[in-house]
Amino acid sequence: MEQPSFDSPLLLPCPPKKISNGEEGMGGGREEGEGAVLAEVKKQLWLAGPMIASSLLLKTLQVISVMFVGHLGELPLSGASMATSFAGVTGYSLMMGLGSALDTLCGQSYGAKQYRMLGIHTQRAMLVLVVVSVPVSLIWAYTGQLLVAFGQDPEISAEAGLYAQWLIPSIFAFALLQCLVRFLQTQNIVFPLMLCTGVTTLLHFFVCWILVFKSGLGNKGAALANAISYWINVLLLALYIKLSPACRETWTGFSREASHNISDFVKIAIPASCMVCLEVWSFELLLLLSGLLPNPKLETSVLSISLNTSSILFMIPMGLGAVISTRTSNELGGKATSCSISSSCRCSHGHFRRISTRAGHVHGKGCLGSRIY
């Protein structure tokens, strides 16, 4: 057997199907390819619904908090919107990007049937993300001063700084949540993930109502509600992982092995984080720049409603992206041929085109944000 070289292909081509006379059958190969695509469509549709729902529900937690603050007045809404945008740029997007490295590591380990390594990779990611959360929390503690230094309105900066300080407990929960979500989704355990996120979202309404209107905390209560809801979600997922037979082989308890080879995780996490952060920053920076306009309170409030509504719709293609990431990493881990991976990519491309078009139609009708804020 020839030794592979740097010029060798990473994926082996799908072997052609042969008919009884020994010649290569083009028709049989085409039918086999269509069958593989159809099977892949069924797998992706089964995964896509719960993943999209989970992404939507998780994103709506922050939107619900800002929605409650919107009933307190223009200045609290502007401050909460500015703080949420700043937190997204400096913290949440960073955690999402770093955690996305598990799509590759856990997905391939699951495809290769190295089940124990899923828990090791997840614990290693949890360790890295919690450590990164410490400097992020320090940045959030001085959000008000930083926004003033960037030329933002002093009143909005003061409100945003206060809101961001009460958001600090949420960054640690969000870091752990990203790891647990990917630990489950790379094993195709998506329905329990959707249910846990749905329960958390329902509870978030009551938590926001109590902390914002009944406790007297105002916009600070909305920020604290984010942290409480994220921790509730982490607790629910942790209990499921601990008690469910589905995770018995993949989660065998905490291990010291997770503290080894952290550099291997970081090598994948940093480029993944850059891709996610640059995509998120391109939108969140618009809200920060709106604070430099002549009427910053009004402009920030209006743009916040628009961007929050758009961000909810963007969770649909993000959920589909999680599907293709999971399927591709599973196939790579199982040493699938290039035709299997090509089927995954072609199916997801079709899903992206159809759903993105429908999302654009819904967003184009407008008037949704004005009804809920």
Determine the pLDDT at residue 337: 46
Beta bridge partners of 18: 24
Average pLDDT, the chain: 79
Top mean-pLDDT range of 36-40, 69-73, 293-297? 69-73
| CA trace torsion 189, 192, 198, 204 (10° rounding) | -100
Residue 136: count other Cβ atoms within 10 Å of its Cβ: 21
Give the integer Cα–Cα distance in Å for 85 and 81.
Answer: 6
- In sign, the C-alpha dihedral spanning 253, 331, 272, 359 is negative
Give the integer Cα–Cα distance in Å for 333 and 175.
Answer: 25
Determine the pLDDT at residue 354: 45
Instruction: Tell me what the mean pLDDT of segment 2-21 comes to.
Output: 48
Instruction: List % helix, strand, coil for the chain (3-state, nearest 5).
Output: 80, 0, 20
Give the integer Cα–Cα distance in Å for 200 and 246.
Answer: 22
Q: Over the stretch 195-253, which tens digit does the pLDDT of each residue have?
A: 999 999 999 999 999 999 988 888 899 999 999 999 999 999 999 999 999 888 889 88
- In sign, the C-alpha dihedral spanning 32, 37, 41, 43 is positive
